Chain A
Amino acid sequence: GAGVSQSPSNKVTEKGKDVELRCDPISGHTALYWYRQSLGQGLEFLIYFQGNSAPDKSGLPSDRFSAERTGGSVSTLTIQRTQQEDSAVYLCASSGTFNTGELFFGEGSRLTVL
């Protein structure tokens, strides 16, 4: 597709359940980011993939959060044993090999944990 695609756009889950959020970056983009944005807040960095390098996981808030990127393209963010404080919009962004800071964002996945 032409842009970054995220699914689901909305997810409501019960506390303690696991959720998976998917991101399909722009074709050819080597860098992929996950950010979290709580209501009225800024973007919190979660994880960064760049090509075949080891991902930068320094922003993951706990070991309940994990992410993988298969084949250098699609990425999945998994949250295990969800908590109410996990409720937020999860944004995925990708960028090309050059100008790696020029990010293109998906529409986000809004997660609500009841």
Chain B
Amino acid sequence: QKEVEQNSGPLSVPEGAIASLNCTYSDRGSQSFFWYRQYSGKSPELIMSIYSNGDKEDGRFTAQLNKASQYVSLLIRDSQPSDSATYLCAVEGTGGFKTIFGAGTRLFVKA
């Protein structure tokens, strides 16, 4: 089992729709969770961090965490073509705290 799993996609949504990206992780002791966005040919950039169960909202982005289910998600409301990118889920592990990334989900927002 991979430590951090994501559906590779591509996920295609129309402009203005809600994009839902999902991630599961294997280290039950993990406490810190992150979403990074990576445009083609660019480096990843942090867009959301979440540390507690529940929802965390920042503008059009909402991160959701369920530690019991070992599940993290990212919702993008009112999706825009500029949101088209690969979204990487990252988990900071226990006992050393190295951050492990999922393979990423490619999102296409159609105008």
Contacts and interface: CB of A to CB of B under 8 A. Distances in A.
Interface residues of B, number: 23
Interface stretch (A19-27, A42-50, A76-84): A42-50
Main secondary structure of the interface of B (DSSP, over half): strand
A102 B32 CA distance: 9
A68 interface: no
A50 B102 CA distance: 22
A105 interface: yes
Interface in A3-43: 33, 35, 41-43
B57 to A, nearest CB: 18
Nearest to A48: B98
A41 B42 CA distance: 13
Interface of B: 32-34, 36, 42-46, 49, 88, 90-92, 96-104
Contacts of B102: 42
B96 A48 contact: yes
Given A101-B90, A102-B34, A42 B43 contact: no
Contacts of A103: 34, 36, 44, 46, 90, 99
A92 to B, nearest CB: 9
A91 interface: yes
18 contacts: A33-B98, A35-B101, A42-B88, A42-B103, A42-B104, A45-B99, A45-B100, A48-B98, A58-B98, A99-B49, A100-B92, A101-B33, A102-B34, A102-B49, A103-B44, A103-B46, A105-B45, A106-B43
- Interface core residue of A42, A45, A58, A106 (most chain B CB under 10 Å): A42
Contact of A42 (B33, B46, B97, B101): B101
A91 B43 contact: yes
Contacts of B45: 105
A56 B103 contact: no
Contacts of A101: 32-34, 49, 90-92, 97, 99
A103 B90 CA distance: 10
A56 B44 contact: no
A101 B102 CA distance: 14
